[in-house]
Amino acid sequence: MGIFDKIKNAIFGRAEAAETAAPATSAPTAAQSAPAATQAAPAAPAPSTSTPVDVTPVLDAAVKKSGQKLDWRKSIVDLMKALDLDSSLSARKELADELGYAGAKDGSAEMNMWLHKALMKKLSENGGKVPADLLD
């Protein structure tokens, strides 16, 4: 699994976990759950590629959970740290290769800013709802 897939799965998986935990308002009765049990496999929702995942609340929550002062909106390193992923230069080089970065893979500000913008675009293309100002 590549670095982009790890990032995407971390964001989309956290969004799905939050959606699953939120609607637990009442337990179904035995009569309500019996028909669902016979249709469990076909009725199971597919991974949320049809419904866009709003990355902002997911990443904001990840930053809060980390307990660190991280600016995921501007920093690829902070975004990766918030998701508890490897943010080392070697990991960012691998991400740069995956996303098609053609410049020097030296960890420069230019490389990191390009990575952040390319990541936001790629998340958007893969079912993520990304703030417009991060897609410019």
Residue by residue, pLDDT tens for the chain (136 residues) are 899 999 999 999 877 666 666 554 444 444 444 444 444 433 333 344 568 899 999 999 999 999 999 999 999 999 999 999 999 999 999 999 999 999 999 999 999 999 999 999 999 999 999 999 999 7
Amino acid at 95: L
For 110, phi then psi, to 5°, come to: -60, -45
Tokens 């990032």, residue? 7
What HEC string does 65-114 produce?
HHCCCCCCCCCHHHHHHHCCCCCCHHHHHHHHHHHCCCCCCCCCHHHHHH
- Predicted TM-score (pTM) of this structure: 0.75
Answer whether 26's CB lies under 8 Å from 58's CB.
Answer: no
CA distance 132 to 125: 13
